[in-house]
Amino acid sequence: MVEAGLVARLKEARRMGGVSRRELSLLAHCAQAVCSIVERSGSGSVKTISAFAGVLGVSLDWLIAGQKDARPTAADVQAAVQRARAAREAEHDRGVYASMRGAPNSPREDAGPSSQRRRPVTRTSGGAAARSPVRVGARPARRKVA
Chain Cα centroid distance, residue 47: 12
Q: Domain 6-98, what architecture?
A: Orthogonal Bundle (1.10)
Is the pTM of the predicted complex or chain greater than 0.75? no
Is 134 in a helix, a strand, or coil?
strand
pLDDT classification of 4: cutoffs 50, 70, 90: low
What pLDDT score does 124 carry?
54
Instruction: Look at residues 65, 40, 64 and name the one whose alpha carbon lies nearest to residue 52.
Output: 64
Q: Is the pLDDT of residue 132 over 60?
A: no
Rounded Cα gap, residues 103 and 112, in angstroms:
15
Domain ranges of the chain: 6-98
Least confident of 71-85, 98-112, 130-144: 98-112
